[in-house]
Chain A
Amino acid sequence: MTPLSARTASVPVPQAETELALAGRWRVVVLNDPVNLMSYVVLVFRKVFGFDEPTARRHMLEVHELGRSVVWSGLREKAEAYVFTLQQWHLTAILEPDETR
Chain B
Amino acid sequence: MKRVEVKLALSVVAPLLDLVKRTIDDLQDRLAAPQSLQDLDEDLGAAWKGELLAGQNGDCQRFLALFDSEFFASGMVAFDDTNAESVLRACAAIRLRLRDRELKSLSDEALESAGVETGHLDEAAQKAYMGYVFLATLQELIIQHLDAAILEG
Chain A contacts to B: CB under 8 angstroms: 1-3, 6-7, 10-11, 21, 33-37, 39-40, 43, 46-47, 64, 80, 83-84, 87-95
Contact = CB atoms under 8 A, between A and B. Distances in A.
Q: Which of A1, A36, A46 has the most CB of B within 10 A?
A: A36
A43 B35 contact: no
A35 B140 contact: no
List of 8 A-B pairs having minimum Cβ-Cβ separation, nearest first? A34-B108, A3-B48, A87-B35, A90-B92, A6-B47, A34-B111, A3-B47, A34-B112
Contacts of A64: 112
Nearest to A38: B112
Contacts of B33: 33, 87, 90-92
B43 A10 contact: yes
Interface of B: 32-33, 35, 37-41, 43-44, 47-48, 51-52, 55-56, 88-89, 92-93, 95-96, 99, 108-109, 111-112, 136, 139-140, 143, 147, 150-151
B96 A1 contact: no
Contacts of B99: 34-35
Contacts of B44: 3, 6-7, 11
A89 B89 contact: yes
